[in-house]
Chains A and B, each alone.
Chain A
Amino acid sequence: MKKIVGLLMSLVLLLGVFAGCSNTESSGEAKDGKKKADLKVWSFTDELKKPITKFEEKNGVTVELTIVPIADYPTKLKPVLESGVGAPDVFTGEIAFLKQWVNAGYWENLSEKPYNVDEIADNYVPYVFDLGKDQNGDVRALSWQTTPGGLFYKRSIAKEVLGTDDPTEIGEMLSSMDKVFEVSEKMKEKGYRMFPDEGSIRWFAQGDNPQPWVNEKDELKLTDEKIEFLDYAKELRENSYTALAPEWSPSWFEAMDKPIKVKEDGKETETEVFSYVLPTWGLHSVLKTNVKESNGDWAVTSGPSPYFWGGTWLGVYNKSENKELAYDFVKMMTQDDEFLTDWATETGDVLSYLPVTNKIKDDFSDEFLGGQNNYKFFLEQAKNIEPGIVTKYDQQLDTFYGNAVSEYVDGKKTKEAAIKEFYRKAQNAYPELKVPKN
């Protein structure tokens, strides 16, 4: 008897161990009697919630959405994709790690049968479609949106200082870096600040000749335009054209809606910020969510050079057992006329799918922007964006270079020392790169 009890108890203990290892499918089934999801989707925002509900209704299936915050997303997703255990059928990728992922082979090749997406290439904004391709030119991921950037400014300040609030006219006044500095000086004379911080102009640092950070020969290239950016940033600081409110800091958000205090040279001045350099999503998820009083007083125009910032792509996991349904979801998100029209009118998201945008772009107007048709504006900007300058190194190299710029602007390092430090960091993070020795 004792033996049996002993054996039973040790078995119970062992079971406890294995229970922890049991796969999620069985526990998923057990939960409130629901059957397991037909399709698993992973993403880093809740953006897909509504489309998924629609997809479920339309096809009579259940979809399980897993949201992982962006900071942990690549680290969490990678082991799952490597092992295939508990992996999603569809997953999204952000621009910061898109290049790495399209080449890693986790996403199904959509250029092959039965998908043949190359046939509909002309339906997309060129740079968006291009970014979803791997090194062999095969499409791995598609996107429903395009994220070109603009320069959002306050109409009331524009009228007072520049005599007009018309986006086209203001855009002409900002068509080169020299002109931007002219306007900044005018702003300063009237007690305003052109930008919240020096980093605001980094998107224009590419100039008219955008080049990738790393070329095909794995050489790190610091273009003259990027070096010039160091001087521009320093000039902004030295001439007090910025409000010393670093991006994403509390003061950066506060300055959108209210006058803020700037402390420099031992005195405190109250000022207002004229413009924010933000892309499409900046309007909906940054400005609109943080601005109350100046609602309707904003407008968007173009800066010295076109740029894009961010973007979400999605594709089918190549080891998925449910590729057909998975691709149906991708198709709905990226090619379904009816769904995309609803999506765009509901959220104001700027789409990359031209058959829909051509149909709806003329009827847009945004109350927040004083009735301006930002949709048409952004689509125009998207046309000018050069594809092929995105590399898998961008996110880190941008951070390193941003550090170099602020160290130079703060006067902690000379230009040469800041660039040298940038090279040192780049080489350390990516030993395979050929970094200039100087």
Chain B
Amino acid sequence: MKNLNRYGYFFIAPFWIIFLVFNIYPVALTFYYSFTNYSGSGVAEVVGLANYQRLLTDTFFVEAFFNTWKIWGINFALQIGIALILAAIFSDMRVKMKGLAFFRSIFYLPNLITVSSVALLFGILLDWQHGSLNIVLMNLGLISQPINWLNEPATAQLSVSLILTWMWFGHSFIVVMAGVSGISKDYYEAALIDGATRMQTFFHITLPLLKPILLYIMITSLIGGLQLFDLPMLLTDGIGSPDGSLNTMVLYLYNQAFKYNNYGYAAAVAYGLFIITIIFSAIVFKSMYRNERKQARQV
């Protein structure tokens, strides 16, 4: 009998060609470069593990690691907090909040603006001498001196966190609402009849049943957060000012490669970032798996 299955290979070929050329090849090439001193032009000399040795002792990379976590952490806590509060309000059976569709799109709007526009907008709003924020705060008498938001490490990091929250809470809210609508109304009705307070309903029904959704948001946000780049790049001078506080891991990678022309070292930074991402994803998956087993035992 003739083997007709080979036609299948023609059908999967487009995917594999694109995947090999645009995914596997660059990844492999980057891996090779991470063992060289390639400077973007000319020949790449193999230098062994020198780049990885440097990475382990690089204080800038360690700073970048913690900066990324600080900025992402505050943003994530706020983003999830706001999304949950809003979800609690919109799903409350007693309040019967109207206009969910309207608010859902309003909350999501900031996410549609390109990051460069957002950076420009907030650059003007947060301006030290003439920014609207300082003018409002001073007119309210809350501060006597204008605050140079983007010039102090703490306020600069906080600013980025808050902008990220503003951009992403709508997204989290939509996902959380989807999770909430998946919870059977029976639980809430039963709770209502048993005389449970709002707090109790939220903490004992909504939250536990939302766990898989929250975990999903956490993983996607974590992976995105570790790659934080555009806002810190655009808000200040692009090399992490003030005082290196906005120097995130990917920004550092970008600067090493495209500004300082240390392509070889930048490739090593990329693999360092890759390993970090794997470790944290593994931790998150592991905790998810353990939770599932625990639940299974309870049942």
| B254 to A, closest residue via Cβ | A75
User: Which B residues are CB-close (under 8 A) to A251?
Assistant: 127, 129-130
Taking the closest CB of chain B, its distance from the CB of A22, in whole angstroms, is: 14
Could you tell me how many residues of chain B have their Cβ less than 8 Å away from some Cβ of chain A? 39
Could you tell me how many residues of chain A have their Cβ less than 8 Å away from some Cβ of chain B? 42
Whole-angstrom CA separation of A90 from B11 in the bound complex: 43
User: Which B residues are CB-close (under 8 A) to A231?
Assistant: none
Contacting residue for A266 out of B124, B134, B145, CB 8 A: B145
Whole-angstrom CA separation of A106 from B241 in the bound complex: 33
Q: Flag whether A292 is at the interface (Cβ < 8 A).
A: no
Q: Flag whether B151 is at the interface (Cβ < 8 A).
A: yes
| A245 to B, closest residue via Cβ | B129
User: Which A residues are CB-close (under 8 A) to B239?
Assistant: 399-400, 403
Query: Once the chains bind, are B40 and A262 in contact (CB under 8 Å)?
Result: no
Q: B251-271 interface mask toward A, CB cutoff 8 Å, 1 = contact, 0 = none?
A: 000011011111001000000
Q: Flag whether B144 is at the interface (Cβ < 8 A).
A: yes
Task: Enumerate A254-280 residues with CB–CB distance to B below 8 Å.
Answer: 254, 260-263, 265-266
Query: Once the chains bind, are B129 and A263 in contact (CB under 8 Å)?
Result: yes
User: Which B residues are CB-close (under 8 A) to A11?
Assistant: 10
Query: Once the chains bind, are A396 and B129 in contact (CB under 8 Å)?
Result: no
Whole-angstrom CA separation of A104 from B41 in the bound complex: 7
Query: Once the chains bind, are B129 and A75 in contact (CB under 8 Å)?
Result: no
Whole-angstrom CA separation of A411 from B4 in the bound complex: 77
Q: Flag whether B128 is at the interface (Cβ < 8 A).
A: yes
User: Which B residues are CB-close (under 8 A) to A406?
Assistant: 151
Query: Once the chains bind, are B18 and A412 in contact (CB under 8 Å)?
Result: no
User: Which B residues are CB-close (under 8 A) to A9?
Assistant: 11
Q: Flag whether B272 is at the interface (Cβ < 8 A).
A: no
User: Which A residues are CB-close (under 8 A) to B258?
Assistant: 74-75
Query: Once the chains bind, are A431 and B262 in contact (CB under 8 Å)?
Result: yes
Query: Once the chains bind, are B7 and A244 in contact (CB under 8 Å)?
Result: no
| B237 to A, closest residue via Cβ | A399
Q: A95-129 interface mask toward B, CB cutoff 8 Å, 1 = contact, 0 = none?
A: 00000100010100000000000000000000000
Q: Flag whether A410 is at the interface (Cβ < 8 A).
A: yes
User: Which B residues are CB-close (under 8 A) to A263?
Assistant: 129, 134, 138, 145-146
Q: B123-153 interface mask toward A, CB cutoff 8 Å, 1 = contact, 0 = none?
A: 0100111100010001000001110100100
Q: Flag whether A61 is at the interface (Cβ < 8 A).
A: no
Contacting residue for B14 out of A16, A254, A407, A410, CB 8 A: A16
Query: Once the chains bind, are A82 and B7 in contact (CB under 8 Å)?
Result: no
Taking the closest CB of chain A, its distance from the CB of B38, in whole angstroms, is: 11
Contacting residue for B11 out of A10, A17, A412, A430, CB 8 A: A10
Whole-angstrom CA separation of A263 from B148 in the bound complex: 11
Taking the closest CB of chain A, its distance from the CB of B275, in whole angstroms, is: 21
| B143 to A, closest residue via Cβ | A266
Task: Enumerate A1-58 residues with CB–CB distance to B below 8 Å.
Answer: 3, 6-7, 9-11, 13-14, 16-17
Query: Once the chains bind, are B237 and A429 in contact (CB under 8 Å)?
Result: no
Query: Once the chains bind, are A249 and B127 in contact (CB under 8 Å)?
Result: yes
Q: Flag whether A358 is at the interface (Cβ < 8 A).
A: no
Query: Once the chains bind, are A261 and B130 in contact (CB under 8 Å)?
Result: yes
Q: Flag whether A209 is at the interface (Cβ < 8 A).
A: no
Query: Once the chains bind, are B124 and A407 in contact (CB under 8 Å)?
Result: no
Q: What's the dominant secondary structure at chain A's contact region?
A: helix
Q: Flag whether B66 is at the interface (Cβ < 8 A).
A: no
Taking the closest CB of chain B, its distance from the CB of A429, in whole angstroms, is: 4
Q: B64-91 interface mask toward A, CB cutoff 8 Å, 1 = contact, 0 = none?
A: 0000000000000000000000000000
Taking the closest CB of chain B, its distance from the CB of A272, in whole angstroms, is: 15
Taking the closest CB of chain A, its distance from the CB of B50, in whole angstroms, is: 10
Query: Once the chains bind, are A17 and B17 in contact (CB under 8 Å)?
Result: yes
Query: Once the chains bind, are B42 and A104 in contact (CB under 8 Å)?
Result: yes
Q: A185-220 interface mask toward B, CB cutoff 8 Å, 1 = contact, 0 = none?
A: 000000000000000000000000000000000000
User: Which A residues are CB-close (under 8 A) to B144?
Assistant: 266
Contacting residue for B260 out of A14, A104, A430, CB 8 A: A430
Taking the closest CB of chain A, its distance from the CB of B24, in whole angstroms, is: 15
Taking the closest CB of chain A, its distance from the CB of B287, in whole angstroms, is: 36
Query: Once the chains bind, are A261 and B129 in contact (CB under 8 Å)?
Result: yes
Q: Flag whether A78 is at the interface (Cβ < 8 A).
A: yes
User: When A11-B10, A13-B14 are in contact, do A78 and B237 touch as well, CB less than 8 Å?
Assistant: no
User: When A263-B146, A266-B144, A428-B58 are in contact, do A13 and B11 touch as well, CB less than 8 Å?
Assistant: yes
Q: Identify the interface centre among A7, A254, A428: most chain B CB within 10 Å of its CB.
A: A428
| B61 to A, closest residue via Cβ | A428
Q: Flag whether B60 is at the interface (Cβ < 8 A).
A: yes
| A410 to B, closest residue via Cβ | B151
Taking the closest CB of chain B, its distance from the CB of A150, in whole angstroms, is: 26
Task: Enumerate A165-182 residues with CB–CB distance to B below 8 Å.
Answer: none
Query: Once the chains bind, are B7 and A3 in contact (CB under 8 Å)?
Result: yes
| A392 to B, closest residue via Cβ | B261
Task: Enumerate B37-65 residues with CB–CB distance to A below 8 Å.
Answer: 40-42, 54, 58, 60
Whole-angstrom CA separation of A396 from B60 in the bound complex: 16
Query: Once the chains bind, are B145 and A17 in contact (CB under 8 Å)?
Result: no
Q: Identify the interface centre among B14, B60, B255: most chain A CB within 10 Å of its CB.
A: B14
User: Which A residues are CB-close (under 8 A) to B148?
Assistant: 410
Q: Flag whether B13 is at the interface (Cβ < 8 A).
A: yes
Whole-angstrom CA separation of A241 from B242 in the bound complex: 23
Q: B2-13 interface mask toward A, CB cutoff 8 Å, 1 = contact, 0 = none?
A: 001001001101
User: Which A residues are CB-close (under 8 A) to B265?
Assistant: 431
User: Which B residues are CB-close (under 8 A) to A13?
Assistant: 10-11, 13-14
| A251 to B, closest residue via Cβ | B130
Given contacts A3-B4, A6-B10, 6 further A-B contacts (CB under 8 A): A6-B7, A7-B7, A13-B11, A266-B145, A412-B242, A431-B54
Can you list 24 residue pairs at the A/B interface with Cβ under 8 Å? Answer: A3-B7, A6-B7, A6-B10, A9-B11, A10-B10, A13-B13, A13-B14, A74-B258, A78-B40, A106-B41, A249-B127, A250-B124, A250-B127, A250-B130, A260-B130, A261-B130, A265-B145, A396-B259, A396-B260, A399-B239, A403-B241, A410-B151, A430-B260, A431-B265
Q: Which A residues form the contact surface with B (CB < 8 A)? A: 3, 6-7, 9-11, 13-14, 16-17, 74-75, 78, 81-82, 100, 104, 106, 244-245, 249-251, 254, 260-263, 265-266, 396, 399-400, 403, 406-407, 410, 412, 428-431
